[in-house]
Each structure stands twice: as C-alpha cells, then as structure tokens.
C-alpha cells in the first residue's frame, strides 16, 4: 500500500513539473521573439566569463592559503628529495600556463563578445603562431617526461651487486583490510608462498610453502620495522583484490596485484624519533591534537591521550568498505634497535604448524 502511495505521489510531482515547464515556456515565448542571441545576451555571457575567471583565480589562491599546510613535508627516503624536485618543477611550469591560458580564454570571451552588425574577421592561419604553440609545448613536455623517466629509472633500478650490503628483503602482504610484513630472515630469501596454501587452522595466514626450506627463518610481523640508512626491497602480494602499498613520507607507492609479485625499494633516511622533531610534523601533529580536543569536547568518544606521529603504510586503492582504515605502522630506527626488535620476533617455522609434525 505504501509503495502504491509513493508511486501516486511521484506521478503527481511529475505531472506538476510538466505543467510548470509549459507555463515557463509560454512566459518565455511572450518575452522573446527570437532564439538568436542579441547584444544583451552577449553582454551577460561576457560578464559571466569575467566573473568565472575571478572565481577560479580566487579559489586557486584560497586553496594555497587554506590547504598548503596539509601538503607532505620532509621526505624520509634517499630518493625523496629528487621526487619532490620533479613535483615542484611540474608545478612551476603548470601554474604560469594555467594562469595565462585561463586569463586569455575568459578575458577574450568578454572583450570580443558578439555585437550587432560586427562581422568576424576571416583569418585562415598563421604559420609562425602555429609553430610557436606547437614547438614550445613539445619541448617543455619532452623535458618534463624525460625528467620523470630518469627519476623513475633512478628510483626503480639499482644494482644488487653494486650495493655495499645486500638490501633487506621484506614482503608486504595485502588483504581486505590489513597488511602483513614478512622478513626474509638470515638467508635473506623469502620462502615460496601461494594463496592456495593459506591454512588458518595451522596459522599459515600467508600461504607459505612449508616444503620450501627458505620459509623456516622468515619472520611475520604486524608492524614494519626498518633500519635507517639501509636499502629495503619490498616484494608485494595481494590475497584478494587490487590494493596499493602507499608510504607517503617515503614517496613510495606500488600496486598490489593478485596473482603477481610487484616490487619497490628505497632507503629510509630519517628515524621515527627524528621525524617527530621535524618542524612541519610538529606543527601538523599539534593541529591534529587541537582537532581531537575539539571533537572530544563535542562529545565524541576519542582517546584522552594525544596523538603522536608514526610513519604509516596505507592502502591507496579503494579496495572495499574498510579501505580507509587499511594501514600498518612503520618504525624507522637505528640498526641496533632494528636488530634488537628482530631478535624478539618469532620465526615462521615456530608459528606455523606443519602437517605431520
Ligand atoms: Cu586496500
């Protein structure tokens, strides 16, 4: 019955809207005798163009003013400064072009608005102008793309042989909605794994292949500890859907694709303890704590304790309803602290119950 009433109400609304549109049509027809734009229309449209120009410029400057403080701060990886330079060069090129192009587009639409009796100038082409606006963007874009390619190569390719020490191999395992880290252990080789071998009864949550001897000394952790100044090589797997391993402070991101292993590596350069003293981080954390205090006051059930900074591994692919909270704490520490932490961790062979044992 209620459904029927809803349908009737919807029908009545539709009929009244249809009637209204007829009234508007009649009203318009009585005022205008033509559908061709006249000088008054052109003037209104030209003025709107100018207004819109002012709006987008004002909004851009407002954005800088209001949101600059939420930008990423000091990079915490060896390749980070180069990555930030690429970003800043891109901004430096994009912004002047944005301001010039938007100004010309909107201002010309205003200045050269149609007027009764005016005739448009027939202008077929201008070789010189065409050359300028083709060649200049080609050169600028080539420089940007090459800069990007060289940076990417620099970040992604390193010579294992060349490194003074072998990088630490860590697997990042993504699943809805959590991360697990697996360290390769003393042999620095990860044991084979396959989602088909996942066995919750025997605590084999990552599907490690217990017939591969390399698995035995692997260390599975729910917190990612990294020693400062040492290269870490991540091998990334996903159990279910596309995720993306995103470590913004380290300027690192790589997709996690079910059925394949993707890789990324970087050298962390700032310990968690030092980053907590970084001016921008101190200011950011202070702002977060002010917001938290306000929300507590408003009656929200938040921890009494102040929030302190930690590096995070986040998921940057919308992978499901709890995607927003798919994160793992990263601790960057001195090599001694890292070694001490590693000693407290269980080996995979002591955690996983192997069938038959
Ligand atoms: Cu995810």
Q: What is the pLDDT of residues 16-58, one digit of tens each?
A: 888 888 877 877 766 666 677 788 889 999 999 999 999 999 9
Count of the separate structural domains present in the chain: 1
For ligand 1, the distance from its centroid to the CA atom of residue 90, given in whole angstroms, is: 29
pLDDT of 206 reads 78
pLDDT level of residue 350 (50, 70, 90 thresholds): confident
Q: Is residue 258 part of a domain?
A: yes
CA of 233 to the centre of ligand 1 (A): 20
Distance between Cα 84 and ligand 1 center (Å): 25
Q: Look at residue 90 and tell me if it is in a domain.
A: no
pTM for the whole structure: 0.77
Tell me the β-bridge partners of 266: 232
CA dihedral 283, 287, 288, 291 (to 10 degrees): 170
How far is it, in rounded angstroms, from Cα 55 to Cα 46?
14
Q: Is residue 67 part of a domain?
A: no
**Measured in angstroms, how far is the CA atom of residue 49 from the centroid of ligand 1?**
42
Residue 260 placed within a domain? yes
pLDDT for 356? 45
Could you give the CA distance from residue 114 to residue 83 in angstroms, rounded to a whole number?
48
Q: Which residues surround ligand 1, an ion (CB under 5 A)?
A: 243, 315, 319, 326
Q: How far is the CA of 321 from the centre of ligand 1 (A)?
A: 9
96 pLDDT higher than 80: yes
- Sign of the alpha-carbon dihedral angle for 74, 79, 85, 88: negative
Report yes or no on 322 lying in a domain. Answer: yes
Structural domain containing residue 310: 168-351
| 8 A C-beta contact, residue 63 and residue 251 | no
Q: Name the residue among 345, 77, 84 with its Cα closest to residue 232.
A: 77
DSSP-assigned beta bridge partners for residue 219? 183, 347
Whether 19 maps to a domain, the answer reads no
Higher pLDDT, 236 or 199: 236
| β-pair type (262-266, 168-175) | unpaired
Q: Of 105 and 304, which is predicted with more confidence?
A: 105
More reliable by pLDDT, 215 or 244: 244
Q: For the domain that residue 180 is a member of, what is the CATH number?
A: 2.60.40.420
Rounded distance between C-alpha atoms, residue 159 and residue 223, angstroms: 28
**Average pLDDT over all residues of the chain:** 87
Please report the pLDDT score of residue 243 as a whole number.
Answer: 95
Distance 300 CA to ligand 1 centre (A): 27
Residue range 323-335: mean pLDDT, rounded: 94
* Closest of 253, 228, 224 to residue 155, by C-alpha: 253
Residue at 306 is within a domain? yes
pLDDT of amino acid 34: 67
Residue 334, sorted as left (phi over 0), alpha (psi -120 to 50) or beta, turns out to be: beta
Compute the average pLDDT of residues 83-88.
Answer: 92
Report H helices in the chain. Answer: 2-31, 39-67, 80-111, 127-156, 272-275, 279-297, 335-343, 348-351
Q: How would you label 221-245 residue by residue, b for 16+ Cβ within 10 Å and e otherwise?
A: beebbbbbebbbbbbbbbbebebbb
Determine the distance separating the centroid of ligand 1 and the alpha carbon of 258, expressed in angstroms.
12
- Quick one: pLDDT band at residue 357, thresholds 50, 70, 90? very low
**Beta partners for residue 226, in sequence order:** 332
162 pLDDT higher than 70: no
Within a domain: residue 137?
A: no
């Amino acid at each position: 019955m209620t459904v029927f009433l809803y349908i009737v109400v919807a029908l009545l609304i539709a009929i009244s809207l249809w009637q209204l549109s007829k009234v508007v049509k009649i009203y318009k027809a009585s005022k205008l005798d033509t559908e061709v734009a006249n000088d008054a229309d052109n003037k209104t449209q030209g003025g709107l163009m100018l207004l819109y120009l002012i709006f987008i410029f004002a909004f851009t400057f407002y954005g800088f003013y209001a949101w600059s403080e939420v930008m990423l701060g000091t990079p915490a990886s060896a390749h980070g400064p180069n990555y930030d330079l690429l970003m800043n060069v891109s901004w430096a090129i994009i912004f002047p072009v944005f301001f010039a192009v938007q100004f010309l587009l909107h201002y010309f639409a205003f200045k050269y608005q149609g007027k009764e009796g005016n005739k448009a100038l027939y202008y077929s082409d201008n070789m010189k102008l065409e050359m300028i606006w083709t060649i200049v963007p080609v050169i600028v874009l080539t420089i940007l793309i090459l800069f990007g390619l060289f940076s990417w190569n620099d970040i992604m390719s390193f010579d294992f042989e060349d490194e003074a020490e072998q990088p630490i191999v860590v697997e990042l395992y993504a699943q809805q909605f959590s991360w697990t880290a697996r360290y390769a252990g003393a042999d620095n080789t990860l044991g084979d794994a396959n989602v088909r071998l996942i066995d919750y009864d025997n605590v084999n949550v990552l599907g490690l292949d217990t017939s591969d001897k390399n698995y035995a000394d692997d260390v599975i952790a729910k917190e990612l500890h990294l020693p400062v100044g040492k290269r870490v090589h991540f091998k990334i797997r996903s159990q279910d859907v596309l995720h993306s391993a995103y470590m913004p402070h380290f300027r690192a991101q790589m997709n996690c694709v079910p059925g394949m292993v993707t890789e990324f590596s970087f050298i962390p350069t700032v310990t968690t303890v030092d980053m907590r003293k970084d001016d921008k981080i101190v200011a950011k954390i202070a702002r977060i704590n002010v917001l938290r205090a306000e929300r507590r006051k408003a009656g929200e059930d938040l921890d009494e304790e102040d929030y302190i900074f930690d590096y995070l591994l986040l998921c940057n692919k919308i992978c499901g309803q709890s995607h927003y909270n798919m994160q793992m704490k990263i601790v960057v520490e001195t090599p001694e602290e890292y070694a001490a932490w590693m000693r407290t961790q269980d080996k995979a062979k002591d955690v996983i119950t192997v069938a038959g044992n």
